A and B are shown apart, each in its own frame.
Chain A
């Protein structure tokens, strides 16, 4: 089933073409890695897909709705969540409260102006569950601003997951994390996605081990265009892609 569709998307910033005639479809069950050198347009692509940036031409639809017209709030309601490349948290809110915001949206408890959030059991159950998945169990009371950079990024991802979305777009989710922890985090992400019924994951990723180890589809972006789009095996077979993006002979079993 098609979830997210981009059709002939172009994005111009003045004279600079950030995205050029991008067409792609994301379906149920896909774990997509978007790869490409810096400045290739990966983040712009995700920004356009999530409605943060309006394309100069073309359109993007999520479950049939044009994402630009929807806006972030309704997209979240419909089932799209994202994390950000640069740390994007609520500094003064605690870890638990951050996840609770997402839980409240998911449970549609946002309008309960007269009942105490502290006593809202369904919300805190989600908070504890998601917190446990991402390793925040002992830290739920800590203000987000004192977390380490890696933990802050992880919190950004965790709160996106707490929305129980259908599709989740992650911008370099493991970039603040040490190499040893990266695969742990990825395992956690994949497990969380399965547990929470997330249908598709899109991930901007630089670490090729993760790209080839976890995704079932790779989209290679270069100079604003899609250079290649296919299974890991087919991508690995494309010498031009490997040379442009990976930059060296990549021999990983």
Chain B
């Protein structure tokens, strides 16, 4: 028996497997990159939203896939992002980076106390608590008309970019052009960041917490602290996603925080596959385009989704990613 000097997991560092591990992500990113050149404006805008959802799902995946906490209220962070964009652009603060930064700050500040409370509980209790919080936000947004615009919401104007002068361009050109690519870069960076986090000791410890909380504690893993970290990171990704999703819509309204939205997020995650970090992107893209087509066919899309979700839960719990490739090069 020889003792190898290289770390065990360095098998993925060998050239061949590394290439294959990056193939599918690279392909997906390439498709998204080229999309404005190959598809019409309506679909490019859909892809814009899909990127936003993908970012939000990256965070939710950390929380559910890695840490094992199923949140039925993640939409509340999307709402925080959307309303931040709404308030800021309504008061003429149009800078995209600034909006993102402020949204992140608010999201993190909100996430800490909510997270501290929710992570004491697991499974159904955690799910219901997060549901309660997001419905609380929904009720608040709905009722307090003078503060939040009630069910009419707050308009969001297309923000400006620091590095790009967008004057003279109409909204559609911005959304299918500079802002699209700006968001694309953001998506790539945030995906890389998440990959880094999940490959770090945080990722391993979160998985240990998911698998066996008691044993993790006895091995010195601070379960409460890391759960909170996962929750806040998920919240931040959610808020960023929320800003991006809301911009093409042009409106921040209470339904963003409604439980159906949270359900959609979970659905997307399951669709793409939550056992690996690429699932979110695939799930978001497939869901958004599928929903678009479905809504033009029938008004009973909830029924269709429900049936599909049932099928996925029973037959394909690991989602599309697992169905596509059994070897799971890019899974943990």
Are A and B a genuine interacting pair, yes or no?
yes
Q: Whose C-beta in chain B lies nearest to the C-beta of A97?
A: B204
Cβ of B220 and Cβ of A163 under 8 Å apart?
A: yes
* Other-chain contact of B7, A82, A118, A159 (Cβ < 8 Å): A118
Listed by A's residue number, 12 A-B pairs whose Cβ atoms lie within 8 Å are A71-B217, A76-B218, A105-B219, A110-B220, A111-B201, A113-B202, A114-B200, A123-B7, A128-B3, A132-B3, A138-B1, A163-B220
Given that A77-B220, A127-B8 are known contacts, is A117 also in contact with B200, CB under 8 Å in the complex?
Answer: yes
Against A, the Cβ 8 Å flags (1 = close, 0 = not) of B187-217 are 0000000001101111111011011101111
Say which size band chain A's interface belongs to. 35 or more
Question: Considering the chains assembled together, what is the distance between the CA atoms of A23 and B202 in angstroms?
Answer: 40
The minimal Cβ–Cβ distance linking A204 to chain B, given in whole angstroms, is 16
Cβ of A104 and Cβ of B3 under 8 Å apart?
A: no
Q: What chain B residues lie within 8 Å of A77 (beta carbons)?
A: 220
B163 near A: Cβ within 8 Å? no
Cβ of B8 and Cβ of A160 under 8 Å apart?
A: no
Q: What chain B residues lie within 8 Å of A119 (beta carbons)?
A: 7, 10
Q: Which of B208, B212, B217, B219 has the most CB of A within 10 A?
A: B219
Q: What chain B residues lie within 8 Å of A96 (beta carbons)?
A: 8-9
Q: What chain A residues lie within 8 Å of B220 (beta carbons)?
A: 73, 76-77, 102, 105-106, 110, 163
The minimal Cβ–Cβ distance linking B95 to chain A, given in whole angstroms, is 28
Cβ of A124 and Cβ of B8 under 8 Å apart?
A: yes
Cβ of A102 and Cβ of B219 under 8 Å apart?
A: yes
Cβ of B219 and Cβ of A163 under 8 Å apart?
A: yes
Cβ of B217 and Cβ of A101 under 8 Å apart?
A: no
Instruction: State the A residues within 8 Å of B (CB).
Output: 50, 71-73, 75-77, 81-82, 84, 88-93, 96-98, 100-102, 104-106, 109-121, 123-124, 127-128, 132, 137-138, 140-141, 156, 159-160, 163
Q: What chain A residues lie within 8 Å of B210 (beta carbons)?
A: 92
Q: What chain A residues lie within 8 Å of B3 (beta carbons)?
A: 128, 132
The minimal Cβ–Cβ distance linking A130 to chain B, given in whole angstroms, is 12
Cβ of A73 and Cβ of B211 under 8 Å apart?
A: no
Given that A118-B9, A141-B8 are known contacts, is A90 also in contact with B208, CB under 8 Å in the complex?
Answer: yes
Cβ of B7 and Cβ of A120 under 8 Å apart?
A: yes
* Other-chain contact of B199, A109, A111, A116, A128 (Cβ < 8 Å): A116
Main secondary structure of the interface of B (DSSP, over half): helix
Cβ of A73 and Cβ of B7 under 8 Å apart?
A: no
Q: Whose C-beta in chain B lies nearest to the C-beta of A116?
A: B199
Extra pairs beyond A124-B7, A159-B219 (16, CB < 8 Å):
A73-B223, A82-B218, A88-B214, A92-B207, A101-B204, A101-B208, A113-B197, A113-B200, A114-B196, A115-B201, A116-B199, A117-B199, A117-B204, A118-B13, A128-B3, A137-B1
Q: What chain B residues lie within 8 Å of A111 (beta carbons)?
A: 201
B173 near A: Cβ within 8 Å? no
Cβ of A101 and Cβ of B199 under 8 Å apart?
A: no
Q: Which 6 A-B pairs rank lowest in CB-CB distance, beginning with the nearest?
A: A105-B220, A76-B220, A118-B9, A90-B211, A72-B217, A124-B7
